[in-house]
Chain A
Amino acid sequence: MDRLFDVVAVFSLVLIVWVLSSVRRAHIRVEYSVSWLLAGAVLLILALWRTLDDRIAAALGISDSFVALAIFAGAAFLVVLYRLSLRISGLKDSSITLAQQVAILEFKLKALNEKIQTPAAR
């Protein structure tokens, strides 16, 4: 069982280093890295601080503290994914509106240019 906690600790560290490295190379914007870093940090703390896991497991009525950690990890990643879904939905809406506006402006600009270039309009 201890080995599983160690695996989670290593996984959390890899996640944190990976996300920080992506932020440094500008692959992820800082505001989108916060959720991942927070989830990784909390997971790391829970993986290293066993007594805390035991207390959480007891509070939740779970006999195995690793199951409590796994539930917490699952919940944390679900929250992160949900937040990302919200962001993606917002960005898609913005992107659609922007594309429509660009197309409409181009259409009007083209119509205006045609009007200007028509000799009768001069």
Chain B
Amino acid sequence: MTTAMPAKRLLVLIPAFNEEGAVGEVVAEVRSAVPGTPILVVDDCSLDATRSLAETAGAKVLALPHHLGLGGCVQAGYRLAYELGYDYVIRVDGDGQHDPRDIPTVLAALQKGNCEMVIGSRFVDDNGEHTNVLRAAGIMFFRAMLRPILGRPVHDPTSGYVGVNRTALELFSATFPLEYPEIEALVVLQRKRFRFVEVPCRFRPRRAGRSTITVVKSLYYMIHVLLGVFVNVLKFEARRK
């Protein structure tokens, strides 16, 4: 599906760290899926040719002076997008796991105006075949944990395929979880009474490199996210009192 869009309204944000094997192709796919839409690659101080390959492929590059991690990297992109006046930002990962052909689906859901954030989900239409057992177990755990906090189910809480409108962009450019942002961002959003919807999106195996996730890192991830969610809930409770 290819859709022409107003040049200034939508920005496609691609956070990338050492993604020279995939980022050029991802940028090309985004250009093909949404011609004329500005693409911003946020380079988290990569040690390889990510920056030059992204520029060659036709993206603008926001180059961070030192490595910030995923949350800091995405927030930098949100801040710039907010300052430049974009209305919608859709984040697509630089490793090629998110299929850019679904960007128009995410944008259409945002443009309906009944939510501040759209999550591209692997599981709305049971298309999560590229998820390994460990990750699937983690997703099930976080689904169960988030349901009472959000007051509604979320199918794919760890998805990074996310679109935000300007209201959420303003919030996230000021407050964004810095290390493992996806799940905590949902809680931040909920506490502001913002809404989200999920739309089915295609996910693929990463194009290049390999995941650095290990069992120990997965455990650290779970503890970190649980603590982050807990702190966010406490913050909200304290403000309410």
What A residues does B72 contact at CB under 8 A? 96, 99-100
What B residues does A79 contact at CB under 8 A? none
Main secondary structure of the interface of B (DSSP, over half): mixed
What B residues does A106 contact at CB under 8 A? 63
What B residues does A99 contact at CB under 8 A? 64-66, 68, 72, 76
Please count how many residues in chain A sit with their CB below 8 Å of the partner chain's CB atoms. 9
What A residues does B60 contact at CB under 8 A? 107
Please count how many residues in chain B sit with their CB below 8 Å of the partner chain's CB atoms. 15
What A residues does B63 contact at CB under 8 A? 103, 106-107
What A residues does B68 contact at CB under 8 A? 96, 99-100
Main secondary structure of the interface of A (DSSP, over half): helix
Q: Please tell me if A104 contacts chain B, counting CB pairs below 8 Å.
A: yes
Given contacts A100-B68, A106-B63, 10 further A-B contacts (CB under 8 A): A95-B66, A96-B178, A99-B66, A100-B72, A103-B42, A103-B63, A103-B65, A103-B80, A104-B76, A104-B79
B positions within 8 Å CB-CB of A: 42, 60, 62-66, 68, 72, 75-76, 79-80, 83, 178
A positions within 8 Å CB-CB of B: 95-96, 99-100, 102-104, 106-107
